[in-house]
A = this chain, B = another copy of it.
């Protein structure tokens, strides 16, 4: 097929927050950059080989789910009960089909299960034991809960719980690093067929109450894709992204107000900030334009476009 005037592109994030050079060792920074690069390469390779944007975003997300440095899959943060509850979602911009899963405790790759729900069930969203029952019937890998235990996340839980206890005792304000609080990873892509897709996966917030569902698996909030407009994956204070229907709002401002991807994506992050929330998102449109706005000190992020130029950044 001719690809001369067609564009491809892929963007991903590995979480946004008060990421600052003095809070992260040069070694860790290098490992994070390397993790983002591997994820970007995995999705990019599929796009170059005329694969689908759906396959590309899943490939990128899979790499980050397996990497314990990111808050999704293997490296998921702990709930207040010392357990793990994972959420994920995927959306196909061509068909507007979507799959979403929440409160998983034994699924190695939540994004794989989200895709199975989209492709093999009559439902869009499944959570908890019912979702894991569906996983086992559909050959999605289940794994012992201890797989999700990582020492650095356990220490983060202890730090957050200590900070909350002190804040309660002093009647003071709670100050904890966003890095300890949340993460979330996700990818958006445009393929040579002109199809957009988005995928997001997360362990949620450190010390979240068991049962809490964030914006990641809410179609239109943390994950959205529509060939008419854009594909979006968000990270940050999920509750604000849900209340503002953030992902679909980017699309709606493009479709109904004629805003560019950049304008619409920035406008949504401004609204998140105005309501008191922190976070960011990655966005791509039909023309391969990419936008990566955030209102935090940093966001782990990477992008690659039709020229093959790769860009990976952490800070503003």
Residues of A within 8 A of B (CB): 96-98, 100, 102-103, 121-131, 133-134, 208-214, 218-221, 224, 238-239, 242-245, 248-249, 252-253, 256-257, 275
- Are B123 and A103 neighbours in the complex by a CB distance under 8 Å? no
Most B CB atoms within 10 A — which of A97, A103, A129?
A103
A-B contact pairs, 15 of them (CB 8 A): A98-B243, A123-B212, A124-B238, A126-B211, A128-B128, A128-B211, A133-B210, A133-B211, A219-B245, A245-B245, A245-B248, A248-B252, A249-B252, A252-B252, A253-B256
| A121 to B102 CA separation, bound complex (whole angstroms) | 19
| A34 to B239 CA separation, bound complex (whole angstroms) | 38
In the complex, chain B residues whose CB is within 8 Å of the CB of A209: 121, 123, 126, 130, 133-134
In the complex, chain B residues whose CB is within 8 Å of the CB of A103: 127-128, 130
Given contacts A242-B219, A244-B96, A257-B256, contact A208 B125 (CB under 8 A): no
| A124 to B133 CA separation, bound complex (whole angstroms) | 26
| A268 to B161 CA separation, bound complex (whole angstroms) | 45
In the complex, chain B residues whose CB is within 8 Å of the CB of A213: 100, 102, 123, 125-127
Given contacts A134-B211, A211-B133, A253-B256, contact A220 B245 (CB under 8 A): yes
- Are A129 and B275 neighbours in the complex by a CB distance under 8 Å? no
Per assembly, the copies of the chain total 2
In the complex, chain B residues whose CB is within 8 Å of the CB of A122: 239
Q: Which B residue sits closest to A271, measured CB to CB?
A: B96
Q: Which B residue sits closest to A252, measured CB to CB?
A: B252
| A85 to B219 CA separation, bound complex (whole angstroms) | 21
Partner pick for A131 among B97, B211, B219, CB 8 A cutoff: B211
| A89 to B98 CA separation, bound complex (whole angstroms) | 21
- Are A220 and B239 neighbours in the complex by a CB distance under 8 Å? no
In the complex, chain B residues whose CB is within 8 Å of the CB of A130: 103, 209-212
In the complex, chain B residues whose CB is within 8 Å of the CB of A102: 127, 213
- Are A96 and B133 neighbours in the complex by a CB distance under 8 Å? no
Partner pick for A252 among B96, B121, B124, B256, CB 8 A cutoff: B256
Most B CB atoms within 10 A — which of A100, A129, A130?
A130
**Chain B min CB distance to A248 (Å):** 4
- Are B256 and A243 neighbours in the complex by a CB distance under 8 Å? no
Given contacts A239-B122, A248-B220, A248-B245, contact A211 B127 (CB under 8 A): yes
